[in-house]
Amino acid sequence: MKRIFNLLALTTISLALFYGCVNDLDTAPEVELSLEDLLDSDAEAVEGILASTYASFALTSITGPTEADIEADDAGESGFLRNIINLQDFTADGMKNRWGDNGLDPLTTASNWDNNNKFFRLLYDRSYYTIPQCNELINILNNNSFEDSEIILAEARLLRALAYFYVIDTFGKGVLSTEENIGQSDLLPEASRQELFDFVEAELLDVEPVLPERLGYGRVNKFVASMLLAKLYINAEVYTGTARWDDAATYVIAVINEGGYSLESNFVQNFSGDNENSTEIIFPLLADPITNQSYGNTTYIVNGNMNSATMETTQFGNPGGDFAWAGHRATSAWYGLFGANENELANSPDARASLFWTPGHTYEMTDYREWTNGYPSTKFRNSGAVSSIDATEFSGTDFPMYRLADAYLMYAELALRGASGTSMGDALGFVNQVRTRSNANAIAMGDLTLDFIIDERGRELNLEGHRRTDLIRFGLFTGGNYIWPWKGGVASGTSIPSHYDLFPIPINALNANSNLTQNPGY
């Protein structure tokens, strides 16, 4: 069994401590047992509590795939990962969704955003459901001593920092709730992007030296903290107005030189149902078709890209029929990075160019609501890369939140931006390792530019929850410097306003806490 945590086996412990819907910004999870009673009843209670914090990133609820920890009309829509994909990939250039569910059309067309959109609310609510869970565990560990409590405390603080990172990145502000606020009835003040940035930075700098280099598959470690610090610093100019390229390089270099990770020889191994064997994944969000079922994890990515009407879905580990949801397709902004037309795409030597289903589909997406417009992505699949796996409704493919190829491309970007400690020779070497792993042609030093890097990040990392953030950092998301299909609600694309670099604060959050203010432009 590849799972270090059987999350559902810990349901009793987790429910006793945490179950309950967090509908406002100051509500901590409900505690129904005293700590003493809990420890008397189960000596492994702290591990169960820790598992529930990990589960908040991977599942919609530990009670099953049709339940949600937060208020949601459709439980499957409430998952952290599903909303990261919705807000990071569908709002950007490479992927579009055709369902038109309430709120999805504005995301996929980057138009008509407002604070009533349920998908903005779902990510905000999920973040502020996860943060109090971490606060409660941190409070327990600060006041009691257990075996490995220092390490578990560092894990909980890192997971809280990860949830706050997405608040910083997507909404730019919120409230800063910590273990110090447990039991507080007063509304918390609004925390600025800088204040949240400073908190996350301090937390990560504190826990990074404490965490071991490995804690077991599926758990955070020293290098996950380094990757998150690098992500925070590489985007610092966007978040705070002050570039921190040198600091980003420090932690990317630590991951590369000290982490012991290596590029997986088979690119697809990173996105298959047996990807726990990958040598490249630094931090996965766990999925399992039996024990960790969710419509909000990679099931959303895999099933959403499948349709029995045009595809042979079983080869990707999807049973087809009702389990093939016919929702997502890539656009020419993604596969066009491999070839300017269907023939060039088909003839590309790059293995990544083959991860689109083209028969029965058109290269151009003249109608994003039409399934056969654009190519479904087969990058994520539920089949095995090196082992035989039966087709199942729920995906067993873990989501590679951080992996080494990302670190290599971050290093190259930082070298181009002049970060201390980097060299252009190493940058070129890392980029070419990423490319030649997929049989793409190596590039020369003269080809290595920032324009090349943003394109290579698209080729390598699209549909992994990074694209919107990357485009914003490169100044390409809003405005008219870069146009993609259906940007601004127009088939050929058009400029979108600069305030779209942040999402609106959801109306329910504003109503719950009068100290919060709306982002400009909404």
pLDDT digits (tens, 9 = 90+) for 233-292: 999 999 999 999 999 999 999 999 999 999 999 999 999 999 999 999 999 999 999 999
pLDDT at 6: 47
Are 87 and 477 in contact, with CB atoms under 8 Å apart?
A: no
Which position has the higher pLDDT, 121 or 11?
Answer: 121
Amino acid identity, residue 120? Answer: F
* pLDDT higher than 60, residue 12: no
Q: Which of 239, 223, 520, 248 is nearest to 401 (CA)?
A: 223
Question: Sorting pLDDT into bands at 50, 70 and 90, what band is 14?
Answer: very low
Burial class (CB in 10 A: 0-12, 13-18, 19+), 322: exposed
Given a cut of 80, whether residue 503 has pLDDT beyond it is yes
What radius of gyration do the chain's Cα atoms show? 22
3-state class (DSSP) for residue 126? helix
SS3 content of the chain, % helix, strand, coil (to 5): 50, 5, 45
Residue 76, number of CB atoms within 10 A of its CB: 17
Q: Quote the CA–CA distance of 507 and 504 in Å, as a whole number.
A: 9
What pLDDT does residue 29 have?
A: 39
- φ/ψ (deg, to 5) at 123: -70, -40
Smallest CA-to-CA distance from 52 within 61, 43, 44 is with 61
Tell me the β-bridge partners of 96.
329
Residue whose token pair is 């890392």: 430
Cα separation, 236 vs 147, in Å, equals 36
CA distance 404 to 444: 22
Spell out the residues 6+ positions from residue 435 whose beta carbon is closer than 8 angstroms to its own.
350, 441, 442, 443, 456
Q: What is the pLDDT of residue 25?
A: 45
| Nearest residue to 46 (alpha-carbon basis) of 35, 54, 56 | 35
Question: What are the backbone dihedrals phi and psi of residue 265, each rounded to the nearest 5 degrees, phi first?
Answer: -60, -30
Contact 10, 3 (CB under 8 A): no
At 8, is the pLDDT very low, low, confident or very high (cuts 50, 70, 90)?
Answer: very low
Residue 499 to residues 84, 111, 196, 478, 491, Cα–Cα distance (Å): 19, 12, 20, 8, 21
Mean local confidence (pLDDT), 169-179: 98
Q: What is the mean pLDDT of the chain?
A: 92
Domain map (residue ranges) of the chain: 1-321+379-522
Residue 469, pLDDT score: 98
Q: Which of 446, 354, 445, 463 is nearest to 406 (CA)?
A: 463
DSSP letter assigned to residue 298: H
pLDDT digits (tens, 9 = 90+) for 349-372: 999 999 999 999 999 999 999 999
Report the 10 Å Cβ neighbour count for 478: 20
Scored b (16 or more CB within 10 A) or e, 404-442 reads bbbbbbbbbbbbbbebeebeeebbbebbbebbebbebee
Contact indicator for 109, 486 with CB cutoff of 8 Å:
yes
d(CA 159, CA 56): 10
Q: Is 90 exceeded by the pLDDT of residue 172? A: yes
Distance CA 3, CA 469 (A): 30
pLDDT class of 19 with cuts at 50, 70, 90:
very low
User: Would you say domain 1-321+379-522 falls under CATH 3.90.76.10?
Assistant: no
d(CA 135, CA 413): 35
Burial class (CB in 10 A: 0-12, 13-18, 19+), 294: buried
- pLDDT tops 90 at residue 511: yes
282-335, pLDDT tens digit by residue? 999 999 999 999 999 999 999 999 999 999 999 999 999 999 999 999 999 999
What pLDDT, on the 0 to 100 scale, is given for residue 284? 98
| Percent of the chain at pLDDT exceeding 70 | 92
pLDDT of 34 = 56
DSSP bridge partners of 281: 403
Judge contact between 277 and 269, C-beta under 8 A.
Answer: yes
Q: Give the pLDDT of residue 261.
A: 98
| Residue 1 in this model has a pLDDT that exceeds 50 | no
What region, left, alpha or beta, does residue 521 occupy, with left being phi > 0 and alpha being psi -120 to 50 degrees?
Answer: left
Kindly provide the residue ranges of all beta strands, DSSP E only, lying in 176-294, ordered along the sequence.
190-191, 281-285
Residue-wise pLDDT for 68-81, tens only, equals 999 999 999 999 99
Select the more confidently predicted residue: 2 or 406: 406
Amino acid occupying residue 104: L
Assess whether pLDDT exceeds 70 at residue 40: no
Please, which pLDDT band fits residue 146 given cuts at 50, 70 and 90?
Answer: confident
**Is the confidence at residue 35, as pLDDT, over 60?**
no
User: Residue range 393-402: average pLDDT?
Assistant: 98
Over 60: is that where the pLDDT of 15 sits?
Answer: no
**E strand intervals along 116-274:** 174-175, 190-191
pLDDT at 102: 85
